[in-house]
Amino acid sequence: MGKIIDRLEEFIIGSLMAVATVVIFISVVHRYGTGFAIPGVQDWLLSLNMGWAQEFCIILFVWMAKFGAAYGVRTGIHVGVDLLINKLQNKPRAFMVQLGLLCGVLFTGVIGVFGAAFVWENGMAYETLTLFGMETGEHFEGPTTPDLEWPTWIVYSAVPLGSFLMCFRFIQVMIKFARTGELPTHDHGHVEGLEEGEVLQVGEAIEIAEQREHAHAGLSDREWEKKHPADDKKEEK
């Protein structure tokens, strides 16, 4: 179950980034393309309405930020000031770490609860009750976004969903730390395939890049040797 949530989290973040990149690229090309007086093309570009692109990308970035924050807790990429905590030993350090994680659980949990209540009252309750043919009572339909005219409660749903996921990640880290005494860490300077303390020369770095390209291209050893005979001569020397 945990792996499924991990993959879903990564898929959502990756998909949001990909869609936002494509939409921004198309919007920029459209904006500059309309400035060129190309017969037929300019009129066609002007007929396209891309005014919604900015609002759409802002929504995507909001969702990206909320789910990305949860991903950051799981992978340990959030910046933390732990100089004093790391000077402590054994139980005092473990207590302070768990206290910090507990604060994270409480904070994100509270934000998730208040966010869910806000989303429910901001139009979700009306839509849900209407869907099931029930009386809406004092619940109102809720506002919509200016350009896309989407219900704002859908946009704001990123707050409770992302906060609850982040709360879940904090609990995961707490349990793992209690069992193993380890926290998730991420070395921004680490290069995949490079051992700690190892230093590469420029030529070695290029060679590693070529080997990875070889692997991704799916070439056989014979095909690789035919394409790069100079590499074999270097190895013989």
As a whole-number percent, the residues of the chain with pLDDT over 70 amount to 78
Q: What's residue 15's pLDDT?
A: 96
Name the pLDDT band for 168 (thresholds 50, 70, 90): very high
pLDDT at 164: 97
Round to whole Å and give the CA distance between 80 and 163: 19
The predicted structure's pLDDT at residue 170: 96
Closest CA to 130 of 155, 158, 153: 153
The mean per-residue pLDDT over the stretch 107-124 comes to: 96
C-alpha distance across the termini of the chain, in Å: 52
Amino acid, single-letter form, for residue 8 = L
Q: Can you give the residue ranges of every domain in the chain?
A: 2-180, 203-228
Instruction: Give me the count of residues in the chain.
Output: 237
Residue 216 has pLDDT above 90, yes or no: no
Q: Which residue has the higher pLDDT, 84 or 188?
A: 84
> What pLDDT score does 184 carry?
86
Inform me whether the pLDDT recorded for 175 exceeds 90.
yes
Give the contacts of 57 (CB within 8 A, at least 6 positions apart): 20, 23, 24, 27
Mean pLDDT across 10-17: 95
More confident residue, 107 or 1: 107
Q: Which pLDDT value is given to residue 235?
A: 47
Across 27-35, average pLDDT: 90
213 pLDDT above the threshold of 70: no
pLDDT of residue 26: 94
Residue 214 sits at φ, ψ, to 5 deg, of -60, -45
pLDDT tens readout for residues 48-90: 889 899 999 999 999 999 999 999 999 988 887 788 888 888 8
Q: Please report the pLDDT score of residue 154 as a whole number.
A: 95
pLDDT at 194: 56
pLDDT at 42: 86
Gyration radius from the chain CA atoms = 26
Region 108-136 average pLDDT? 94
